[in-house]
Structure 1
Amino acid sequence: MLFSRSLEDDKANGDKVAEPSAAGQAVQKQNSPRGMSAATVARFQATDAERNALTFLAYDLDVRLVPRQESIAVRARLRVRNDGDKPLERIALQLSSALKWEQMRTAGAGVSFAQHLLDSDADHTGAVNEAVITLPRALAPQEELQLEVLYSGQISLNGERLERIGAPTAAAEKSDWDRISADFVGMRGFGNVLWYPVSAPPVLLGDGAKLFAEMGKQKQRQQQATMKMSVTAEFTAEIATPNLALLNGHVVPVVETAAPENSHAGVITASLPETTLGFSAPSLFLLARRKVQGSGVQIFAAAEDVASTQSLQTAVREVTPLVQQWLGQKPNALLTVVGLAEANDAPAEERDVFLAGFKASPDPHELDNAMVHSLAHAYFASPRPWLNEGVAQFLGSLWVEQVDGRKTALESMASERGALSLAEPATPGETGGEDLLDASDPVFYRTKSVYVLWMLRDLAGDAALAAALRSYHPEQDTTSDYFERLLEKASGKDLKWFFDAWIYHDRGLADLSITGVFPSKASVAGQWLVAVDIANDGFAEVEVPVIVRSRDTTVAERLRVPARGTVSHRMLIGSLPTEIQVNDGTVPEVAESIHLHTLTAEAK
């Protein structure tokens, strides 16, 4: 099953570095290869600039698995490009620290390389095995290179990176459940387990949100890359024969080419034709599951979990009317749910597939929230992450609003606003930040996108926003203003100013304040005129709700406040005003997103 190794290739590979020290090295050494002298480091350690310069254009993976031994061997044909501004005399490729580079070739000849361990939480072991390849000649900017590499090892259940920052072993393994085992083969990509070659700077959990930001960057850089995959696996009669292959989020047929007999293992194969990766990381799942279909969902569950699928189907039925109201009556694809190994394993998504453990008595509220998000993906897809993920998150917030009320939905959004505020640049255009069109960090394409869609909901109206989403066609989204034009057509409003401030550019968040309140009796008996001065110290123009309350009356109007500017507005209310409110939480701000000013004493 495993690929044989050529001694001639071993000689050609040349440099071999001393065995690295055991995993568990101090985190502060993450930028230095383990077990290497300073001279060796200078010779073989890649720089972050070299790592960031390499873009993968095509993967062709021939994967061999022996699940009972937790083993994997891969022959990978890679096409890469130098997207840096300088020639590359060497390139760096990384795998999980549990895997070993065996051979590397380009243009039919072996190439010299050295491999070492590097602390990085891009892999669940908390380290990567980096191969630094000396090229026969420098790779010029925008020049492409084809490589053939061979690597192998074992992918076991491993929660080391989470344990390193204090997580109990059981909790760590419920989150980092990726592994190859006799009854479960499941490997997500970058940020979980590096079972395929990548090139990225080392990142650590606990160092802000750098790991999650890098996960997004990797997806964005490789979204036009193609992936072709062939999987061959051995299995024995003691374990149920795998009948489900999920490759890069695609359900593909499993073929049994040889049945197990006596002491001989059986063999199954599965293959994925060349497909574009899109905004996702390569993944591989090989499982024995029973298919249950109904209520607009197909579920692949372990035999012992089939009875638990009824609650999931019930959840899909409950959330479907809301999804159809906003996204149309017909899904683009059938919602697919795949059962994980353990009931409490952390759920995940692979493209349009929802992965979760099946609990005997699940929390219906928790299940509904998960299903509305996943079902939204089945009904709506976009090549732009801010829409693809943002719309699913938006539908999730609408479900919370429907079940628990608007206040709870906005409070749920507000719990994520702090992270967004930290990620936004203090001075837009100078440091940090991402415009939504090109966002790769989830704090932007998820958190900020939900806020943007809520603001568009208030600007255009529910009916117009729903109409624009229903008329959206991903294959037609080839220009930056495509969605803007759909929404302007549906609403009859000019929204250019908003898209310019919140989507096409990253101008940070609003920073509103009430700078003055001036109540006075109106000419009509019993009525009051309230003048409100509002300042926006942020760089993004907004339209914000302004609310005046009395003991028995509430008046609300919407007011557009320019960036770095102030505006004065007068509102009429039918009785003594007691309170002014600016913003209700729908407009994200640098700090708090609700401003209150008590008026009772002044009004009297």
Structure 2
Amino acid sequence: MFHSKPNHAVSGAPRLDPETWVPASQIAPVVRNKTPRPLRLWGTRIFGALALATVACSAQQQSAPADPQPPLPKGKVLFERHEPAAAPDPDPAQTVPTPETATPQPTGKPGVSSSNRNRRTLKRRTDAPDETAAPAPPAVVTEAPAETVSSSSPQAEEIVVTAADLAASAKVTAAERTAPQIVSTSLDLHLNSHTVAVETRAQLVVRNTGTTAMTRLPLRVSGALHWESARAGNTPLALEQHHIADDLDHTGVGTELLLTLPDLVAPGATVALDLYYGGTINASTGRLTAMGAPEGRAALTDWDTVTDTFTGLRGMGDVLWYPVTAPAALLRNGEAVPQAVAAARLADAASSFRLDLTLEYTGNRPEAAFFCGQRAVLNRLSGASPDPTEMGVVTASWNRKILGPHTPSLFIGQGEPHTAANGLLRVVTDRADTVAALGEAATRLRPMMSEWLGAAPLSSIDVLDLPIPGAAGFSDGTLLVAHLGTAPAAALAATLVQPVAAAWMPPNLEAAWLREGIPTFLQTVWTERSQGRAVALRGLAANAAGLQAQAAPVAEPVSSSSQDAFTTQAVPALAACADPACARDRAAYVFEMLRGMLGDGGLQQAISGWRQRLAPSNGQGQAADATSLHASATETKDMEEMLQQVAGKRDLGWFFRSWIDTGHTLPDLSIVTIAPRRVERNAPIDYLPARKAVGGPIGAEPVPQVGDPTYEAERKPITPGDRIAPAIGSWLVAVEVQNAGDADAEVPVTVRAGDLMNTLPLRVPAHGRATIRVPFEADPQEVVVNDGSVPELRATTHRRTITSLPAQH
């Protein structure tokens, strides 16, 4: 994983500059053989040139050089660089000018940063001038009172966006920021968990997705990091970097690099880049406190950090520890940040990502690391200290041919994992009682998962104890990072539903509505089983607000002659959307509606059959192919085919068109008329009314036509045990419902009297009406249309009290 030139071998090694990065694997035997006790490879004052020369001369029985080089500063990683790293400028307030320091250094040197890297001061950050969603403040940087600037880490300091940064950022056009797309990433990441130092080599392949040739290319990392050198092939590139307001990083600032390319990159063509960047990563609450959030609350949300006891980097939307090309986004612009993250995840799903991690730790040796939720054991570097409780260097590598539906994240677990639930769970924590409770919770969930998704899981679940009480948890596939308290198993089961479901799901699903929607739906199923249907429906209703806001009317006239002053904004098709409110919440409603149409058994058969088709088991409970990325359209088509197969003769095409395949706003239902009618004593009835919805105005009870296959197939003969069969003196309650929305909806219509109720489904077409007649065996008192299982543009439940009944004739 280390990159070096062939002539940098230990034997006969040339004299190296102290800042030149050489393979640590070549230095390790040197340190081990020439010292009586183990030395740290990185973060220790190793005399690079002297150590190499001493060993080389000893092997050849020669004398050592007489002029040792200065020691490497603590925290430096040893591997090859393009050029010596630019040293930070001294703080003018604490440095006395000397002839050396007074001499201005050249700027704009190819491959060397020309940006000002003075010590950061505490100032308010300023938004970029190119934001259009809200007016930007004046480009004036003023000192902020010390008490108004806070941080969750003593080392963290708010990063400055100066007037010069604003001017430089304004010169980068929107087209230049949207045209590049990274299609291949290879990171050689060197991390010091004690000093929080980060040194990274990034090899990227960037494609021009624009319509014109690309001459300049912007890239961005966290504002706490800085770019050090860049090449395109063998051509060094001058660095132009500046800070830009960006809430995709927890500091609220990004460091944007603008590269002038040596050759034009035509539309669709690619360019290979070799870059170095570094800095430190501390916990930061800068973006939230800048918006007025309390320091303590902000620290529970933005907890990404690097420490000896816990390292967690969640990626874009939390911390930009890897290069990105996506345009900046600000929290003050509504859903801009989550939408930018969702768009980047969708665009990068087919890209490749290789990560080579080298970690220097102090204290207990970490056991494993997780990249995009994928676990890899950390191996001790050859020649490092054998004492696992003091300090050392460990490495791990991941090579994802496709990134899949992930935002690149990195977590490092401390200590050996505890297994639970027959190996289903691997828990990294020092709380034995919590491990037992988690195991019991997962065991409780297993029967439900087997019913809905198949007999056995396809992978194990990793749980990391987040050492921040009250902090917001994080999950990525089968990885769960959360503060593990002392909750009982019953409470923990609800937390584990989504990661346990992910262990049963096919890997690398591209269709977000299936990847996010099925676990969210199963969360509702579990809530219904453990707390009742009313609580489960309230949980669904809590997510309806986002869907309603997405489809809310906008103040734009449809036409000058229209009486309707507003129109509804279009929503994306569920099969293609990536926004969480669309992919997760709307999909959960879709499966709940399908459950009402097919029943639990039918929907279970469809979902488990779809899962088996996409991820056939190898016979040992593992997916046969865990690395392939299915096309979103294929995944959706397979699910629809399985649903229609289970439904049989009942056509579900209307449902797929209204809720999955095309973009529609939500239905907008209302009760038009309720007409109870007593069944006459001299009118014998030998059948229940057809479940088929009857459109049009309320009229006489329809008479079955001989030879009508649809009606004959849907009518149901009375059986002795049929509770809702009309008896002499019972009622038929006709309910007419109107739908002013764009999507067809099948909703439950319930007639009740006290504890007695009868419910039948009614399909109401978009911009139309439908009528159903519900048989009832007592005097009806209330009609309820939609119990909350179907999302609507406004209310999701409609009630009408029956105040008077017609007299018996």
> Shorter-chain TM-score: which interval?
over 0.9
Kindly tell me: are residues 485 and 235 of structure 1, through their superposed partners in 2, closer, same or farther at Cα, counting changes over 3 Å?
Answer: same
Q: Which position in structure 2 is the counterpart of 1:255?
A: 379
Give a deviation string over 1:311-343, Cα, whole Å, max 9, x none: 111111112111111111100111221222334
- Measure how far apart 1:27 and its partner are: 5.0
> Is 1:481 paired with 2:481?
no
* Secondary structure of the structure 1 residue equivalent to 2:417: strand
- Tell me the CA shift for residue 273 of structure 1: 2.4
- The Cα of 1:557 is off from its aligned counterpart by 0.9
Q: Which residue of 2 aligns with 1:412?
A: 539
The corresponding residue for 2:487 is 362
Distance verdict in 2 for CA 1:383–1:39, change over 3 Å: closer
Deviation at 1:13, TM superposition (A): 4.2
3-state SS of the aligned residue for 1:510? coil
d(CA) in 2 for partners of 1:314, 1:139: 57
Match of residue 289, structure 1, among 415, 428, 435: 415
* Residue 522 of structure 1 pairs with residue 679 of structure 2: yes
1:135 Cα shift?
A: 2.0
Aligned residues: 599
Query: Is the 1:112–1:135 Cα contact (8 Å) retained in structure 2?
Result: no
* Structure 2 gaps, min length 5: 1-75, 87-107, 140-160, 559-566, 617-629, 682-727
* Residue 16 of structure 1: how far off its partner (Å): 3.4
Preserved contact between residue 425 and residue 432 of structure 1 (Cα < 8 Å): no
Q: Deviations over 1:150-196 (max 9, x none)?
A: 10010001122222333332332222221111222221111111000
Q: 1:444 Cα deviation (Å)?
A: 0.7
Structure 1 residue aligned with 2:514 = 387
For residue 780 of structure 2, what is the aligned residue in structure 1?
577
Whichever structure has more helix as a proportion of its residues is 1
- Corresponding letter in the other structure for 2:583: Y
Residues 1:256 and 1:8: Cα distance change in structure 2 (over 3 Å) = closer
* Matched letter for residue 671 of structure 2: I
- Counting only pairs closer than 5 Å after superposition, residues 154-169 of structure 1 correspond to structure 2 as 154-169=280-295
Amino acid at match of 1:273: N
Is 2:110–2:239's contact at 8 Å kept on the other side of the alignment? no
Give matches, 1:463-502, under 5 Å: 463-472=601-610, 473-474=613-614, 478=631, 479=634, 480-492=636-648, 493-502=650-659
User: What whole-Å deviation, never above 9, does each CA across 1:63-86 have from its counterpart, x for those lacking one?
Assistant: 111111101111011112122233
Residue of 306, 324, 342 corresponding to 1:198 = 324
* Cα distance, 1:430 vs structure 2: 8.4
Which range moves more in the overlay, 175-184 or 588-597?
175-184
Is the Cα–Cα contact under 8 Å of residues 383 and 474 in structure 1 kept in the other structure?
no
| Aligned counterpart in structure 1 of residue 364 of structure 2, from 216, 240, 251 | 240
Does the C-alpha gap of structure 1 residues 232 and 594 become closer, same or farther in structure 2, counting only changes over 3 Å? same
Contact 2:574 2:659 survives alignment (8 Å): yes
- Structure 1 stretch displaced more, 443-452 or 337-346: 337-346
Is 1:6 the equivalent of 2:63?
A: no
The residue that corresponds to 1:24 in the other structure is 124
**TM-score of the aligned structures, taking structure 2 as reference length:** 0.70
CA contact (8 A) 1:54 1:199 kept: yes
Gaps of 5+ in 1: none
| CA–CA distance in structure 1, aligned partners of residues 251 and 400 of structure 2 | 30
Farther off after superposition, 425-434 or 583-592 = 425-434
Q: Does 1:217 align with 2:343?
A: yes
> SS at the partner of 1:463?
helix
Cα 1:80/1:474, change in 2 over 3 Å:
farther
Checking the alignment, whether the CA contact within 8 Å between 1:89 and 1:139 is kept in structure 2 is: yes
Contact 1:510 1:588 in 2 (8 A): yes
Please list, as runs of the form range in 1=range in 2, the aligned pairs for 1:69-108 lying within 5 A after superposition.
69-108=195-234
The amino acid across from 1:156 in the alignment is N
Asked if the contact 2:112–2:229 (Cα under 8 Å) also holds between the matched residues in 1, the reply is no
Give runs of aligned pairs for residues 36-115 of structure 1, distance below 5 A: 36-37=163-164, 40-41=167-168, 45-115=171-241
Give CA-to-partner distance per residue, 1:414-441, whole Å, 9 cap, x none. 0110111111364999855221221110
Change over 3 Å in CA distance of 1:22–1:83 after alignment to 2: farther
Aligned to 2:63: none
Which residue is 1:143 aligned to? 269
- Indicate the SS of the match to 1:563: coil
Question: Given the alignment, which residue of 507, 527, 540 partners 1:400?
Answer: 527
What is the identity percentage for the equivalent residue pairs of Structure 1 and Structure 2?
A: 30
Greater alpha carbon shift after TM alignment, 571-580 vs 46-55: 46-55
| CA 575–295 in structure 1, closer or farther in 2 if over 3 Å, else same | same
Per-residue deviation, residues 477-500 of structure 1 (Å, max 9, x unmatched):
652421110111123132111111
Alignment check: 8 A CA contact 1:52 1:199 kept = yes
The separation in 2 between residues aligned to 1:327 and 1:214, in whole angstroms, is: 31
**Map of 1:439-458 to 2, 5 A cutoff?**
439-458=577-596
Q: Residue type matched to 2:380 in 1?
A: E
SS at match of 2:325: coil
Q: CA deviation at 1:553?
A: 3.5
Secondary structure of 1:436's aligned partner? coil
Q: Structure 1 residues 73 and 430 mapped into 2: Cα distance closer, same or farther (>3 Å)?
A: farther
Please give the TM-score of this superposition, normalised by the length of structure 1: 0.93
8 Å contact from structure 2 (residues 551, 568) kept in 1: no
Over 3 Å counting, the alpha-carbon distance change for 1:39 and 1:25 in structure 2 is closer
Q: Deviations over 1:447-498 (max 9, x none)?
A: 1010011011111221111111111233696524211101111231321111
1:577, 1:603 within 8 Å by CA — same for their partners in 2? no
Classify 1:601/1:24 alpha carbon distance in 2 versus 1 (closer, same or farther; 3 Å): farther
The 3-state SS of whatever aligns with 1:601 is coil
Q: Partners in 2 of 1:52 and 1:221 — Cα distance?
A: 12
| SS at 1:577 equivalent | coil
Query: What is the CA-CA distance between 1:26 and the residue it aligns to?
Result: 4.4
Between the aligned partners of 2:575 and 2:279, the Cα distance in structure 1 is 39
Cα deviation for residue 558 of structure 1 reads 0.6
Distance 1:265-1:275 versus aligned 2 partners, 3 A rule = same
Residues 564/481 of structure 1: CA separation in 2 closer, same or farther (3 Å cut)? same
Worse-superposed segment, 504-513 or 472-481: 472-481
Equivalent residue number for residue 17 of structure 2: none
Give the 3-state SS of the residue equivalent to 2:425 in structure 1.
strand
Once the two structures are TM-superposed, the CA of residue 52 in structure 1 deviates from its matched residue by 2.5
Q: More displaced, 429-438 or 344-353?
A: 429-438
Cα 1:23–1:331 shift into 2, 3 Å:
farther
- Answering whether residue 428 of structure 2 is matched by residue 301 of structure 1, we say yes
2: CA distance, partners of 1:557 / 1:393: 26
Note if contact 1:577-1:600 (Cα within 8 Å) is conserved in structure 2: no
Q: Deviations over 1:23-82 (max 9, x none)?
A: 53245868489324499437x643333323222211111011111110111101111212
| Mapped contact 2:413–2:428 kept (Cα < 8 A) | no
Match of 1:513 among 653, 659, 670: 670
CA distance in structure 2 between the partners assigned to 1:212 and 1:224 by the alignment:
20
Q: Does 1:559 pair with 2:657?
A: no
